Amino acid sequence: MSEVGYGNVGGLGGYGGFTSIGAILVLFILLVIISKAFLKDVSTQFGNFPIKDRFSPESLPVLSKAYGITYYGPHVSMNRFDDQLVLSAMRKVKLPQRDDVYIYVESGFHLAQDILGYNQYKGDLSHLILDGEGNIVYSEIPEAMKVGENFSSLSKGAASDGIARDYHWFRQDSTQNWSVVSVISQAKYQQEKNQWLLQILLVALFFL
């Protein structure tokens, strides 16, 4: 009987601010040696956490595929005792006489939150994650921009920023063909802009 191996990696923060979308993918490539997945018959081995009864990567939201690795967007952990959101990656392993062996690894979504710079903006900035087709696979503002919606309907061509549904948005694309969109409400954006202009005015008056 074939078996599924499962790895969960947590506590790997330490990134200050939104340095690079690709940092998540680079980290995954470094971690993707932990476990093996035999997908024809579903049972587990090599797991450092107990896996849920049904391991079904085909149901996970795909962010991108590159160099034989499939990257999955935020989804509920495969850890039986953890329902937190995670990011994950899986790739096929070449073994003699086996064509159904994969490596799967996941990391707590707090890692992505560190990279996105949550602490810098005190919760005022929200995020969307888009797959290679521009579809929203993760949204922190589902009341305005829903998972499954195509972001191109809200943007103009290949623009990197704009306004939609009372939000300012700023898009950054990765080299792996997926994107992160930072969004802030127009009211909060204007408030921040006014504060910034006031600070400049005060500094200018100080030096007069």
pLDDT score recorded for residue 116: 59
CA distances from 10 to 65, 86, 95, 125, 150 (A): 23, 10, 28, 24, 31
Q: Could you list the mean pLDDT of each consecutive 10-residue stretch along the chain, which spans 208 residues?
A: 40 33 39 42 60 77 87 84 83 80 76 57 79 90 92 81 90 84 88 84 79
The domain limits of the chain are 8-113, 122-193
> How far apart, in Å, do the first and last CA atoms of the chain sit?
80
**CA–CA separation, 131 and 64 (whole Å):** 6
Which one-letter amino acid corresponds to residue 53? D
| pLDDT (tens digit per residue) in 8-65 | 433 333 323 333 444 444 333 333 333 445 455 555 556 666 777 777 778 888 888 8
CATH class of this structure's domain 122-193: alpha beta
pLDDT score recorded for residue 34: 34
Which one-letter amino acid corresponds to residue 96? P
pLDDT score recorded for residue 19: 36
